[in-house]
Structure 1
């Protein structure tokens, strides 16, 4: 009986794959590539009034279902290993698409009682603005399959978007999908974080994706510290200068991690060290739902906040040295309003710590990179160089979410060029009604062009594709 069900499902998936478009683009089939998509993204951002340069063809009619797996342009869904294998046999499909990872079946329930599948908004915006195809990977139903294989494949495209979801990062019991437990999500996100190369796609982590990235920063740093301190020698490091340098840094990081407390503005002390489940992510002071104005992140007064000065200073250096896109947008555009839809938040202290630790590891490697590159610690070279908090939100002049977005920087050891990925607690892909495309009036190009959140999402794509 079980075998017959599996056989029927495999046949169904094969039938669905037969409907997949093998030519990129939907509005202008065969004409979409990296360069044209990038130009169209730039055109969208150039102003708020210009007309749609693409065909007037609609992505779906009012009486049609706009849902993943229910026809073009949302036909490409990875439901099985066979679907992934098909994409590997047709690498151009991956190369000319955005891959959207769904940790959960929806990102929350709006005021109308609708489950909001925000991944459809990502696909709609990308297609409508630049005729960029999307491929969905619903890991909540499919499972991760194989992080090494998956990340290598999906990182070849325009971008990877890790969507939001209902579970809490700090509570394993909320990850109730048997296909994808929390540890599997950690493995996938960790792999994404250390796979940003000169030839890879930028990653955009949204809401729970933002929180998963924060938790995985801490997990990666802990793994690095443990491995460095457990290493007894490195080949061609005859005087142990490289190892001693790394171990000295690892010990400082471990000491800081074991003593750094996380305190909230409402007086809660939620973590006493980096080993606490709530160190990176915890319950927010209040739930944020609806429009919020983004504010530039303000550097802390360490004496008031009780945070070590090294962490604050390191973040000030990162902020001065790197351009995080979102912070620049806030600075030069008019008031930026976006949609919030969350109860949990990333802790400010955790990101300040991660930034300091990443910078410390990177600087320790620089003079000995030729030694580290050829040994068991070589994966440390793939770690980010830094991570910057970009903005916050407030209600009634009171900060609610200190760490509303981050820019993850990767500095190439040889060329010194910077590559970036981004995380945001807010949902730039959702309009103010917090409804999924297909459940609301279809937004026009001009409507998208006027929306702050959509413009911010497009700007992240545009900037990330340049790196």
Structure 2
């Protein structure tokens, strides 16, 4: 069936055909300007649906674009106006979990309504749990050509691949897509925001990419840099050092070693000491506890250097807005040591690749220049005075070799699109605009979108 018959082909729901990148950016900015002013779109809201909705994805505009088959994807790719000014939402599972009243929560609905309500920004959902990856090249093209990609959470656990068995997209498939999105952040490409399960998949993908990079460099560099012995040897030394630490670094929780080395299935993601569901406070990240591996001191220092080099969206929000309270909804967490290691490895690779760039960029190792240049832990969470999640959010930095400009993608363990009740807007109704402006999580999501869209 030709889905374009029922799809809006031009951007905008409240202002049909008039939404644009400029208007979306301006409306995001206006939303963040204060916590009390009314929406500039107020006159365009339909009073009959302003505080209640009873439909979901694929039922009616503005949620009509649900890509559930290869046919849908082919139709979409032939209507670029439908996706190049829209947010693409990737769903790895049918819901992110059950809330306190037993409802399954399809959080993507909230992302779509927030973007539409605040900035008349359309959204398209890709329920991979229904469709599978479809044509990977076409899917990647649409995602990276959109305004932004939101990689949603889900109820399976990345610690057990079997928990994905009841979906049409395996754990391995999702890792492949996560790697592709991490490598896709180039000039004029869409930023990615990985949420909860997406945050955890991104962490696993970082480690896989670093393993792949060091392996391929050591296997091929002697033949590629035949006439550049200094650059060749420096690269080999860096890769050998990364591999040596990667194979022995230990993950410690509550003074117990829970994983050793990057080949352990829970090196990147482990079970959280305290499962979180509900309100938590975001605090600045700080590593204060001791660790049995002496090398961690260098990783922490490298993290501090990364934090000094870049202005963190979330860090600025903590410092300048107020104490931030957001919603957690998970039992697994990204391991602190794994992200400290990834940042250190990315930085070392970035620096050692640069001297031989001209030769490497025309070789089979050219993909290495799409790797992040660093990854920063932005914040942690506390509940009832106890540190809960050390890596509550990260910023993935991409320092461009030619322009020296930096682009960013983000990951967060928390769900900024959910409110305290952990409910879909389809069931709870869309909050009044002034309540949206006061919600810390929603403001954080819009700030991340606003800032990353400018890069």
Pairwise TM-score range, normalised by the shorter structure: over 0.9
Report the Cα distance in structure 1 between the residues aligned to 2:403 and 2:188, rounded to whole angstroms: 14
Query: 2 CA distance for matches of 1:178 and 1:48?
Result: 40
Task: Specify the alignment match of 1:138 in structure 2.
Answer: 127
Q: Identify which of 216, 233, 238 aligns with 2:227.
A: 238
TM-score by length of 2: 0.96
The equivalent residue for 1:26 is 13
* TM-score, normalised via structure 1 length: 0.94
CA distance in 2, matches of 1:102, 1:45: 27
How much does 1:66 deviate? 2.4
Distance 2:291 2:265 in 1: 26
Alignment equivalent of 2:409, drawn from 421, 424, 449: 421
Distance 1:441 1:136 in 2: 20
Measure the CA separation in 1 of the matches of 2:50 and 2:304: 50
Would the alpha carbon gap of residues 58 and 453 (structure 1) be closer, same or farther in structure 2, given more than 3 Å must change? farther
Pick the aligned partner of 1:202 from 165, 174, 191.
Answer: 191
User: In structure 1, what is the Cα distance between the partners aligned to 2:173 and 2:125?
Assistant: 18
Deviation of the 1:442 alpha carbon: 2.2
Query: Conserved in 1, the CA contact under 8 Å of 2:20 and 2:85?
Result: yes
Cα deviation, residue 111, structure 1: 0.7
Instruction: Indicate the residue corresponding to 2:244 in structure 1.
Output: 255
Q: Output one character per residue of 1:42-101: Cα deviation in whole Å (capped at 9) or x when no partner.
A: 000000111110123258367753200111110001111111111111112111100000
**Contact 1:234 / 1:240 at 8 angstroms: preserved in 2?**
no
2:80 aligned with 1:73: no
Deviation at residue 327 of structure 1 after TM alignment: 1.0
1:128 aligns with 2:130: no
Counterpart of 2:322 in structure 1 is: 334
2:99 is paired with a residue whose SS is: coil
Cα RMSD of the aligned pairs, angstroms, is 1.6
| 3-state SS, counterpart of residue 15 of structure 2 | coil
Note if contact 2:51-2:431 (Cα within 8 Å) is conserved in structure 1. no
Q: By how many angstroms is 1:372 displaced?
A: 1.1
Contact 1:41–1:458 under 8 Å retained in 2: yes
Partner of 2:305: 317
Task: Decide whether the 8 Å contact of 2:53 with 2:427 is kept in 1.
Answer: no
SS of the equivalent of 1:259 reads coil
**Residue 239 (structure 1) shift:** 3.2
Q: Structure 1's 157 and 59: CA in aligned 2 closer, same or farther, altered over 3 A?
A: farther
Partner of 1:104: 93
| 2:38 aligned residue (51, 54, 70) | 51
Q: Is the 8 A contact 2:67 2:124 kept in 1?
A: yes
CA contact (8 A) 2:86 2:121 kept: yes
Provide the rounded CA distance (Å) in 1 between the counterparts of 2:436 and 2:362: 48
Structure 1 position 347, deviation (Å): 0.3
List runs of 5+ in structure 2 lacking aligned partners.
none
Distance 2:274 2:253 in 1: 11
1:162 is the counterpart of 2:188: no
**Cα offset, 1:378, TM superposition:** 0.6
Cα distance, 1:355–1:64 mapped onto 2, change above 3 Å:
closer
The one of 337, 340, 353 equivalent to 1:365 is 353
CA distance in 1 between counterparts of 2:167 and 2:437 reads 40
Say how many residue pairs are matched.
453
Q: Does 1:150 align with 2:139?
A: yes
Q: Indicate whether 1:400 and 2:388 are aligned.
A: yes
Query: In 1, Cα distance between the equivalents of 2:312 and 2:7?
Result: 36
Aligned to 2:276: 288
Alignment partner for residue 192 of structure 1, among 163, 181, 185? Answer: 181
Contact 2:346 2:374 in 1 (8 A): yes
Whether the aligned pair in 2 keeps the contact of 1:45 and 1:455 (CA below 8 Å) is yes
> What is the DSSP-based 3-state SS (H/G/I as helix, E as strand, rest coil) of the residue aligned with 2:123?
strand
Q: Secondary structure at the match of 2:211?
A: helix
Structure 1 residues without counterparts, runs of 5 or longer: 1-10
Identify the range of structure 1 (350-359 vs 303-312) with the bigger mean alpha-carbon deviation. 303-312
Structure 1: distance between partners of 2:251 and 2:176: 25
Q: CA deviation at 1:173?
A: 1.0
CA distance in 2, matches of 1:60, 1:142: 30
Contact 2:373 / 2:397 at 8 angstroms: preserved in 1?
yes
Q: Give the CA deviation at 1:245.
A: 2.1
Cα distance in structure 2, aligned partners of 1:300 and 1:190: 31
Residue aligning to 1:455:
443
- Supply the distance in 2 between the matched residues of 1:255 and 1:163 (Cα, whole angstroms): 34
Report the counterpart of residue 172 of structure 1 in structure 2: 161
